[in-house]
Structure 1
């Protein structure tokens, strides 16, 4: 019985030490870049729903999955005060296409200023809003 207990203790210690050596990816780690030779199809036309207070619109875009382009429909994402949402995009570099995932960017100095205000309440800071004073928005 003592040998069994010692074996189990050694086995558990081995598993714990192995677990410490294995790292799981976190959201803070950089995502792997997607670089392909095939250009994405043209963006699809989609109807943007009325603004939602406290949310930012993430427009539809093409993603590369399982060796082909797949359309991902636009959707609302919860707004982050002091940040501006950057939509996903494809950029061509030297005949290759690189996909940049959507992300939240902090203001340069990290402090919201008057240009970061959202006068019309659509979740888009004025500096990034094409129509910051749209009277038709609630």
Structure 2
């Protein structure tokens, strides 16, 4: 899709693409084995205007009876005005259920999991739509100078993150969806783009991406575009750096007026935002795990 064609796409088109599917909040698959921890990786540079970051995740492949890492990647949404709600695993009734990610005008519930790069456990602090254009927060995205023009910079308080990639059970992530988040996820949503679907299928077909072969360290952790496994800018798993976590404050535009704050309270009653054990975030993707500032991009607002 060209940039011009993308800009001409309207939210009305996105609504027209909505398939008469059951609510995406339903569990699409249930597994008796816990998903592996989230690998630690850097975000590849954005390819251009209009792309939205979608975090990587562990998918279940019934054919190989194993988890497979689907790399995080930049994706063009189905229509202007749509945002991505990441999928998540949730432990309930003795098994782990996969809640598939979806597109919509609002970011819904994704298990309180801190995926990084603006997805800090609730809402999205990586950017916003403004007059038909997506504006990027360069504090949490890898924005090379001059590549995109709708850029602003807003620091995002770092949140405590954990290795677990699921909500509930023995995980530190125990938040429940708010009433608003239930409404967001309970409706109909546009289909995934063809590029997204092909990206997942390609990852599942690669033996090296399977947990049984890579032991939780997939060779391709993130790609700059869907299906870009051979791209020179692919990102590999990295060692999590030592870091200090600042106390959490409300994030503008992402307050949770109802229910439990995203991320919940870790075991032992340590308040969210405290320094994780060992001084780093063991499972958090990205070198700036919970929204810490990144280099690159432009200061201030540009149109």
After TM superposition, the score normalised by the length of structure 1 is: 0.57
Larger strand fraction of residues: 1
Is it true that 1:59 corresponds to 2:50 in the alignment?
no
Match of 1:33 in 2: 28
Larger relative helix fraction: 1
Change (3 A) 1:127 1:116: farther
**CA 1:47 to 1:85, structure 2 compared with 1: closer, same or farther past 3 Å?**
same
CA gap 1:76/1:62 in 2 versus in 1, 3 angstroms: same
Query: Unmatched 5+ residue regions in structure 2?
Result: 1-17, 108-127, 137-149, 152-251, 255-289, 299-303
Between the aligned partners of 1:46 and 1:86, the Cα distance in structure 2 is: 20
Structure 2 CA distance for partners of 1:116 and 1:93, relative to 1, 3 Å: farther
Cα distance in 2 between the residues matched to 1:91 and 1:137: 36
Which of 33, 39, 43 matches 2:38? 43
Number of residue-to-residue matches in the alignment: 102
Larger RCO of the pair (alpha carbons < 8 Å, separation 6+): 2
Deviations 1:93-112 (Å, cap 9, x if unpaired)? Answer: 1221111122112249xxxx
Using the alignment, how far apart are the partners of 1:127 and 1:84 within structure 2? 14
SS of residue in 2 equivalent to 1:41: coil
CA offsets, 1:33-73, max 9 Å, x none?
A: 11111110001112202234201111111000022101111
> Which residue of 2 is the match for residue 92 of structure 1?
91
In structure 2, the residue matched to 1:74 is 72
Distance of aligned partners of 1:62 and 1:135 in 2 relative to their CA distance in 1, 3 Å threshold: closer
Tell me the equivalent position of 1:112: none
Residues of 2 paired with 1:92 and 1:45: CA distance?
Answer: 22
Distance 1:40 1:47 in 2: 21
Distance 2:28 2:68 in 1: 17
Deviation at 1:135, TM superposition (A): 8.6
Deviations 1:5-33 (A, max 9, x none): xxxxxxxxxxxxxxxxxxxxxx8234771
> Which runs of no fewer than 5 residues in structure 1 stay unpaired?
1-26, 109-114
Q: What secondary structure does 1:81 align onto?
A: coil
Larger Rg: 1
TM-score relative to the length of structure 2: 0.29
Describe the shift of the 1:41–1:102 C-alpha distance in structure 2 as closer, same or farther (beyond 3 A).
same
**Aligned equivalents of 1:38, 1:44: Cα separation in 2:** 18
Between the aligned partners of 1:78 and 1:127, the Cα distance in structure 2 is 23
